[in-house]
């Protein structure tokens, strides 16, 4: 195995460069212009995107980012850089040699092109691509594949490439998730029910063949099994829906409003589809979700952070990468 020519490209969705209306507008324009994200015909979607969405949505999203923005930058970017450094250190320790690790985002900066250029500059002609989306969706990992193909189309020679499609049921991932939940319970106590809130996608995507919902539910089942939970002690739900089309249900926001009326007034909530805490976890779930639950009559709401740069999470990434490297 020639480790000296192998590099790793860590990929996440991306983030605006600043919590400002203009920066958010630029990010949303790139993100929502991707047919993998919104697959409506361009003639139908373009007037909506440019005439309505990009006119009104950026200011509201910028205000949401301002609630969670850190001194060093966007939480997603700050933590992703921590993951990059930690994975490089972990691989060096596990393999006894340096393995270049670059960061690329599907949208925004650093781009996929910049990540690939960084690895090329370090002499890598083999690249393991690790999209940090545990469950596959055409709208996330599918978009990474498209982005890589677009970059490779510009090159005369492309690197040997391995893309890790998903790891929704990998034992190290399930163990890390369950371990983080148990650790939280050990320190903070446990509510009546555990909610596993996954990012939603339009139901139509699943009807047309996307395996995302199936993988999300499998992740939830395995985590519950690992923790020894009975059926009534946990549930999976889906957040972050956009537009009028039906998305995967049950919806997280509606669930949070309904549970207190059913006698469930103390919950713990975790977001297993996100490998990094970001706007959708820190603002939508930790802040807005808590407000909705408490306003509906809830008494205790505990948000459990993403795996971020925790050692178990980084070790899992190392295992995934090494499995691909062994096949070369």
Q: Is 117 annotated as a binding residue?
A: no
Q: What is the Cα Rg of the chain in Å?
A: 20
How distant, in Å, are the alpha carbons of 175, 238, 252, 261, 303 from that of 134? 13, 15, 19, 33, 20
Q: Is 226 annotated as a binding residue?
A: no
Tell the residue number behind the tokens 């990434």, with chain if given. Answer: 317
Spatial separation of the C-alpha atoms in residues 304 and 260, rounded to whole Å: 19
DSSP state of 70: B
Q: CB of 86 within 8 A of CB of 313? A: no
Helix (H, G, I), strand (E, B) or coil at 75: helix
Torsion of CA 310, 200, 166, 267, to 10 degrees: 40
Residues in the annotated binding site for Fe(2+): 199, 280
Residues in the annotated binding site: 199, 280
């Amino acid at each position: 195995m020639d480790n000296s020519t192998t590099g790793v490209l860590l990929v996440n969705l991306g983030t605006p460069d600043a919590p400002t209306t203009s920066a958010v507008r630029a990010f949303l324009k790139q993100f929502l212009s991707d047919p993998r994200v919104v697959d409506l015909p361009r003639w139908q979607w373009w007037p909506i995107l440019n005439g309505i969405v990009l006119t009104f949505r950026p200011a509201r999203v910028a205000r949401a980012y301002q609630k969670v923005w850190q001194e060093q930058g966007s939480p997603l970017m700050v933590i992703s850089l921590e993951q990059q450094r930690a994975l490089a250190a972990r691989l060096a320790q596990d393999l006894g040699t340096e393995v270049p690790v670059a960061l690329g985002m599907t949208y925004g900066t650093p781009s996929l092109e910049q990540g690939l250029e960084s690895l090329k500059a370090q002499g890598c002609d083999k690249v393991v691509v690790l999209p940090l989306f545990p469950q596959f969706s055409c709208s996330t990992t599918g978009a990474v594949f498209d982005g890589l193909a677009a970059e490779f189309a510009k090159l005369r020679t492309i690197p040997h490439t391995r893309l890790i499609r998903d790891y929704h049921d990998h034992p190290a991932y399930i163990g890390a998730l369950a371990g983080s939940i148990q650790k939280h319970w050990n320190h903070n106590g446990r509510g009546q029910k555990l909610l596993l809130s996954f990012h939603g996608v339009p139901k139509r995507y699943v009807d047309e063949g996307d395996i995302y919902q199936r993988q999300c539910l499998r992740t939830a089942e395995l985590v519950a099994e690992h923790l020894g939970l009975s059926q009534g002690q946990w549930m999976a739900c889906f957040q972050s829906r956009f537009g009028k089309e039906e998305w995967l249900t049950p919806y997280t926001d509606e669930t949070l409003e309904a549970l207190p009326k059913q006698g469930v007034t103390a919950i713990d909530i975790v977001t297993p589809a996100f490998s990094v805490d970001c706007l959708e976890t820190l603002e939508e779930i930790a802040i807005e979700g808590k407000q909705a639950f408490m306003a509906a009559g809830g008494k205790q709401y505990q948000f459990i952070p993403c795996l971020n740069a925790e050692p178990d999470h980084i070790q899992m990434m190392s295992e995934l990468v090494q499995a691909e490297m062994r096949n070369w």
